[in-house]
Chain A
Amino acid sequence: MDEIAPEYDVVVLGTGLTECVLSGVLSVKGKKVLHIDRNDHYGAEAASLNIEALFKKYGNYPEGTEPWKKYGRVNDWNIDLVPKLLMSNGELTNILVSTDVTRYLEFKQIAGSYVQQGNGTRATVAKVPSDASEALRSPLMGLFEKRRAKKFLEWVGAFKDEDPATHNGMNLNTCTMKEVYDKFGLEATTRDFIGHSMALYTTDDYIGTKGMAKDAVERIRLYVNSMARYGKSPYIYPLYGLGELPQGFARLSAIYGGTYMLNTNVDEVLYEGGKAVGIKATMKERGEEGEGMKFETKAGKILADPSYFPGKVQVVGHLLKAICILNHPIDKTDNSDSLQLILPQSQIGRKHDIYIAMVSWAHNVAPKGYYIAIVSTIAERDSNHHLELQPGLDRLGKIEETFMGPPIPLYEPLESGVNDNIYISKSYDATSHFETTTDDVKDIYRRAEGQELVVEGLREGQNLVAEE
């Protein structure tokens, strides 16, 4: 086997999406990158697993049995661990296009975006109206409210930050979203679906915070523009599952010279004067005899997911998640083969929304006839977590299998990395899309490289060897 180089500009630990995007971008920009994962697969927490691996991860079956056998070929399953979708006009889509990683992937629309109003048996499930004309047809609102909502959405669509004439007399940088809603006279239930199923806030904290109106309007615009792009929903999804995304960026990195090592454990981080300067590591395949391959290399800097530095991160919350296998679509969703369904917190007596993200055989993540629905929320209590997810689970109807572990801690780095030369990413949060992931990518890039990440035209002036 080839020798590991004695020095790399950047050593990246963990092959989650955040790390792989950074690795790809840094390699394209000419940095010498060594990318390591202790697992035998790409994706870390953003991987997609086959159904046997999923059963084994959760251990939710009697020993000696092989429950996955009744679900067809195990490799026909690609089950995401992170319940997220791509906004079709979002920043991850932008990065995928400008790095050309799209050529390794194929995307499909998510068939529908829904929101629940009310709770229990009386609940209404309806399409999220995405423009003024849909608002007029929506069962979520009464006649007069529809007109007000139409006015509001028209205003949002026409809003231009640089053109005060479109601001309707408000200064979004200083006012609250409550003032905006009040101005349009919107009812509480309308504020609920706008804030939670379009602006995609998971709590109501945004409503009363001064200056958040701007953010809210931008989020609604992102939703509306993403919706306008392909029509059925604002979301797209890669065939074969989200695990393809980190793999695509890893390939980008490798094409530009990045070195990849799975099955590699970091034994020691080497420090000089408090700053990380290198690593000692061992590459050893599962079941491999002997010591494995030990090596040491210098690192200009280290980028890592939180699992590699448990002492340098803090827990900022806990995510609850149940992965459910269904053999039917979800009731009241027009037989959609895929969807997002949001249960806003106020409708179900909680502080945080419950999200349902469903994909299916239509996305090559399950055998024909099967659906994978992930129900998730932020934990609000210390025990009985399955009860917290219950309103979401109730929406699913008959469930073939449920995979639910203990609450998943969400980590954030304690420091920026400037002091110790170790730049740590955040856990994948509870939002339903990757916008916060790309925010984290940009933030890490800024911290580590001391400049803004420019994604547009990343490949300009670069020459793929394939196109020499």
Chain B
Amino acid sequence: MAARPPQQGGRPGARFAQFKLVLLGESAVGKSSLVLRFVKDQFDDYRESTIGAAFLTQTIALDESTTVKFEIWDTAGQERYKSLAPMYYRNANCAVVVYDITQASSLDKAKAWVKELQRQANENIIIALAGNKLDLVTEQPDKRAVQTSDAEAYAQEAGLLFFETSAKTAENVKELFTAIAKKLPIEQASQRGMRAGTRQGVQLGGRSEAPGTQTGAGACNC
């Protein structure tokens, strides 16, 4: 839901808030794999380039009384030809920008996405940089194309969270999302959510009909 305000609910004293998270990065760096690991704790060696995975949600409990729900948007491939819609960024609270530590050019692409996010997205968006496929260099160190220290220095300068991850072994995946959750303005969001109610708009699901007034337009011959 693009514009849904973070929601509040549950036990008294409990804090719950929902945030929109978007994923960005070059094709095949492992964006969808990171999400799949985070949400379903699975990995697929032969994952096809993303079709689908429009919308996944995952909840993390930060402590006994604090729960954060991520509403995760994958690009659905629209970034491939630089054709992402503004809808994708709209109201994103956080972003994970992914590169592949065995492909130097993928970090350049990641830097371009960070720039784009800083230009287009919410001012307060929290951005995490993820150097993925860490397992590959654990096996063969000479495969590494991006030094940890270089990426770390860049992340620090640009004000990003930074992790090297492996969607394959799960290393640092939970840590990445937890670190983001910890930086999100949960207090503010849950208060806002309380004031604003759950949704400001109208609920569209299921067409209601006034009794005895079945409309002609609904009964089209389609």
Q: How far apart are the CA atoms of A10 and B218 in the complex, in Å?
A: 28
The residue that A240 contacts in the complex, of B90, B206, B215, B218, with Cβ under 8 A, is B90
Q: How far apart are the CA atoms of A433 and B80 in the complex, in Å?
A: 34
Interface contact B216-A222, CB-CB below 8 Å: yes
Q: List 9 A-B contacts (CB under 8 A).
A: A91-B217, A106-B199, A158-B212, A225-B210, A229-B208, A260-B77, A260-B81, A452-B222, A465-B54
The 6 tightest CB contacts between A and B, nearest first, are A465-B52, A218-B216, A254-B76, A228-B210, A247-B85, A260-B83
- Please indicate the chain B residues that have their CB under 8 angstroms from the CB of A88 in the complex: 202
> A230: CB under 8 A from chain B?
yes
Among listed B1-9, B60-68, B135-143, B160-168, interface-contacting one: B1-9
> B11: CB under 8 A from chain A?
no
The residue that A454 contacts in the complex, of B53, B54, B199, B222, with Cβ under 8 A, is B222
Interface residues of B in 86-143 (CB under 8 A from A): 86-88, 90
Binding site for B on A (CB under 8 A): 1-2, 41-42, 87-91, 93-94, 96-97, 102-109, 157-158, 160-161, 217-219, 221-222, 224-226, 228-230, 236, 239-240, 244, 247-248, 250-251, 254-257, 259-264, 283, 285, 364, 435, 442, 452-456, 464-466, 468
**Interface-central residue, B56, B87, B200, B209, by most chain A CB under 10 Å:** B87
The residue that B213 contacts in the complex, of A91, A161, A221, with Cβ under 8 A, is A221
Given contacts A2-B80, A104-B1, A239-B2, 17 further A-B contacts (CB under 8 A): A1-B81, A89-B217, A102-B204, A106-B2, A161-B216, A218-B215, A218-B216, A226-B215, A240-B2, A240-B87, A240-B90, A247-B87, A259-B80, A283-B81, A364-B3, A456-B222, A466-B55
Q: What residue in chain B is nearest A50 (Cβ atoms)?
A: B86
- Please indicate the chain B residues that have their CB under 8 angstroms from the CB of A218 in the complex: 215-217
- Please indicate the chain A residues that have their CB under 8 angstroms from the CB of B215 in the complex: 89, 218, 221-222, 225-226
Interface contact A251-B209, CB-CB below 8 Å: no
Q: How far apart are the CA atoms of A93 and B217 in the complex, in Å?
A: 11
> B201: CB under 8 A from chain A?
yes
A-B contact count (CB 8 A): 162
> B207: CB under 8 A from chain A?
yes
The residue that B86 contacts in the complex, of A1, A106, A247, with Cβ under 8 A, is A247
> B191: CB under 8 A from chain A?
no
> B149: CB under 8 A from chain A?
no
> B178: CB under 8 A from chain A?
no
Binding site for A on B (CB under 8 A): 1-4, 27, 51-56, 76-78, 80-83, 85-88, 90, 199-202, 204-210, 212-218, 220-222
Q: How far apart are the CA atoms of A250 and B56 in the complex, in Å?
A: 18
Interface contact A103-B221, CB-CB below 8 Å: no
Q: What's the nearest-Cβ distance from chain B to residue A221, in Å?
A: 5
Interface contact A106-B3, CB-CB below 8 Å: yes
Q: How far apart are the CA atoms of A41 and B86 in the complex, in Å?
A: 9
**Interface-central residue, B82, B215, B216, by most chain A CB under 10 Å:** B215
Interface contact A255-B217, CB-CB below 8 Å: no
**Interface-central residue, B4, B55, B90, B221, by most chain A CB under 10 Å:** B55
Q: How far apart are the CA atoms of A239 and B213 in the complex, in Å?
A: 29
- Please indicate the chain A residues that have their CB under 8 angstroms from the CB of B82 in the complex: 262-263, 285
Q: How far apart are the CA atoms of A65 and B204 in the complex, in Å?
A: 44
Interface contact B201-A239, CB-CB below 8 Å: yes
Interface contact B3-A251, CB-CB below 8 Å: no
**Interface-central residue, A103, A454, A456, A464, by most chain B CB under 10 Å:** A103
Q: What residue in chain B is nearest A263 (Cβ atoms)?
A: B82
The residue that A466 contacts in the complex, of B3, B53, B81, B87, with Cβ under 8 A, is B53
- Please indicate the chain A residues that have their CB under 8 angstroms from the CB of B80 in the complex: 1-2, 259-260
Q: What's the nearest-Cβ distance from chain B to residue A261, in Å?
A: 4
Interface contact A105-B77, CB-CB below 8 Å: no
Q: How far apart are the CA atoms of A2 and B206 in the complex, in Å?
A: 40
- Please indicate the chain B residues that have their CB under 8 angstroms from the CB of A364 in the complex: 3
The residue that B200 contacts in the complex, of A106, A160, A283, with Cβ under 8 A, is A106
- Please indicate the chain A residues that have their CB under 8 angstroms from the CB of B52 in the complex: 255-256, 464-466, 468
Q: What's the nearest-Cβ distance from chain B to residue A114, in Å?
A: 20
Q: What residue in chain B is nearest A88 (Cβ atoms)?
A: B202
Q: What residue in chain B is nearest A218 (Cβ atoms)?
A: B216
Q: What's the nearest-Cβ distance from chain A to residue B86, in Å?
A: 7
**If the complex has contacts A108-B200, A225-B215, are A251 and B27 also in contact, measured as CB distance less than 8 A?**
no
- Please indicate the chain A residues that have their CB under 8 angstroms from the CB of B201 in the complex: 106-108, 239
- Please indicate the chain B residues that have their CB under 8 angstroms from the CB of A248 in the complex: 87
The residue that A259 contacts in the complex, of B3, B4, B77, with Cβ under 8 A, is B77
Q: How far apart are the CA atoms of A447 and B77 in the complex, in Å?
A: 29
Q: How far apart are the CA atoms of A242 and B199 in the complex, in Å?
A: 19
**Interface-central residue, B51, B85, B212, B220, by most chain A CB under 10 Å:** B85
